Chains A and B, each alone.
Chain A
Amino acid sequence: MARTLAQPATLAAAQERPRRRDWHGFTAHVILIASVALLAFPLYYAFVISTQTLSQVTTTPPKPWPSTALLANYAEAWHRAQMGRMLVNSAIVALGVAIGKIVISLLSAFAIVYFDFRGKNVVFWMIFVTLMLPVPVRIVSTYQVVSVLGWVNTYWGLTVPLMASATGGASTIMATAIATFHSGSCEVRGTSVSIPITAVRISGVLVIIRGHR
């Protein structure tokens, strides 16, 4: 159906199309570059402020270009906030959680897609339900659980509970991804869902895993 109607109705229209596409491409570039710049501006501004002294920050008009106090400010921030220690902690937690989540989700997704076992639906829904209660809402109780386990002030206490959140999301995404790769569509508990797999989706998956704290 599409093929025949795609024939240009007039020669003029055919000749017009390439020119329109060039102009269209140009505006696309302009818009995308503008978006990138606008998106980057606040971070750039924050960087500029990080290079200014306190009096420079608090005087108007604001100066939009970097100043001289870069090393002094960063050194003081590093020292005062003990950033070295914090960066180490963050790295350990982030790495631990990311790796833990991927490994666990992969295992469960594999099981759900390739096996038929009793309680499969229960497991699937149990995992899915974890998407429903994000961390800030259950943080008090989570702390109590962690302290009962004796994991207060340890890396275990910081990483393992976070593996529980959104692992559900990662699992389901992984499960559907695996199933789709395999068969082009997938039956997930009776719901027919086709998700075209593109590079964007996969990167989105990875970003979700990273983004869900």
Chain B
Amino acid sequence: MKALLARTVALVAVAVLVSPSAALARTDIQWWHAMTAVLGERINEIAAKFNASQNDYEVKAVYKGSYPDTLNAAIAAYRAKQPPHIVQVYEVGTQTMLSSGAVYPVFQLVKDHGVTIDWNDVIPPVKSYYASGGNLSSMAFNSSTPVLFYNKDLFKKAGLPDRAPTTWDEVEAAARKLVASGARCGFSAAWPSWTLMENMHALHDQPFADHANGFDGLATTLKINGPFGVKMMELLQRGAKEGWFTYNGRLNKAEANMGNGECGVFLSSSAYIGNLTRASEGKFTWATGPLPRMGGFPQGSSIIGGATLWVLKGAKPEEYRGVAQFFRYLASTENQAWWAGVTGYLPISNSAVKAMEASGHFQKNPQQRTAITQMQLGKVTPNSQGIRLGNFPSVRDAIEEQMENIFSGKKTAKQGLDDAVAKSTDILKEFAALYK
């Protein structure tokens, strides 16, 4: 026991000596986030820059794990009456947050504390996804949209021209040639439900769920088993069987295969640009292009992914003042341009886009323009404004489960999609029943 006591004392002493001296009496602001690697470093950078720019508040950025882990931590903390001030919640948590009654809407927060942010300057796809009644409940921060990546070296080896395939027919043709020339993976995609189902439906102006994708009321059923969904899944099922499409797992697991130079054509978030740059350095060259389209369907727009920053109730007014100041800092054109520039996320405001163009950023980093151009060229319709579902994470799970069954040939595309719709309806109805 004595040894344990001595050891504990020693550990405590070390901890005290090692911890940074918090001599300044600043107000602490807890910011819980889910960013790792390059993105995590950038988060720490922007928090540090804000802290250095003033003396009243100190934003502490804390990595809490994946998006679900971070959300759970926030929920648990909220229920334990110790919520963080700011929590980064992924886009599929939007409905959960909106219905929760635990949120201090951002537009209200900044108004209450005398900060002005020009909400009209927010780029339309972001605004449409996150706004309720024209007002943003959460602070747009890291919004991305999926784009196509292609490995230039593998393309050259396969005798393909050095440009991105723009239609699914071209993707198939390119992937076949890549595999024939020895590539381990012709085409693959990360975030399977987001890139291949949600975005593809929105891109072709196809409905994803009823009630205008959940914007006109709580959605209770999905519509992904229509002709478009079936056609899309049949194409990929054929691709998996014929070997030109390699399914590499859920979430962003597939990014490992793109990052190590295996895959020729790849769909993922535009925010992958940062990590891919690092992973490919000195090994291979790559470029981006817009998402591939399928012929015979109308023009829609790709939708937002990523996350926003939500403010939780239960903190003190002076702390909220600090949050408002921090948001004003984040919303400044200069900081937005910086953040978008180093991460590959979309610049949130039109002013930021213009600033980046003016500074010649896109000349040096043409890849980052792709996502913006794609958003600017897209048509925002009720089917492409976004998707807002209760229990969205479970719904995504259900969809991806069936996608895996389809890709592996266990079920036909129609059967798999029908099952996904049935399961999702169950899940959506559960959520709706909570808020009847």
Contact = CB atoms under 8 A, between A and B. Distances in A.
Interface in B1-17: 4, 8, 11
Nearest to B282: A55
B80 A99 contact: no
B76 to A, nearest CB: 6
A99 B4 contact: yes
A152 B260 contact: no
B27 interface: no
A54 B4 CA distance: 40
Most buried by A among B76, B80, B82: B80
Contacts of B315: none
A144 B80 CA distance: 8
B364 interface: no
Given A54-B260, A58-B260, A99-B4, A143 B11 contact: no
**Contact size class for A?**
10 to 19
Contacts of B11: 88, 92
A95 interface: yes
Interface residues of B, number: 11
Contacts, number: 19
Contacts of A95: 4
Interface in A70-116: 88, 92, 95, 99
Nearest to A143: B76
A147 interface: yes
Nearest to A140: B76
Contacts of B260: 54-55, 58
Contacts of B8: 92
Nearest to A148: B80
Contacts of A152: 76-77, 80, 82
Given A88-B11, A92-B11, A147 B4 contact: no
Given A58-B260, A92-B11, A95-B4, A147 B80 contact: yes
Contacts of B82: 152
Interface of A: 54-55, 58, 88, 92, 95, 99, 143-144, 147, 152
Interface of B: 4, 8, 11, 76-77, 79-80, 82, 260, 262, 283
15 contacts: A54-B260, A55-B283, A58-B260, A58-B262, A92-B8, A95-B4, A99-B4, A143-B76, A147-B76, A147-B79, A147-B80, A152-B76, A152-B77, A152-B80, A152-B82
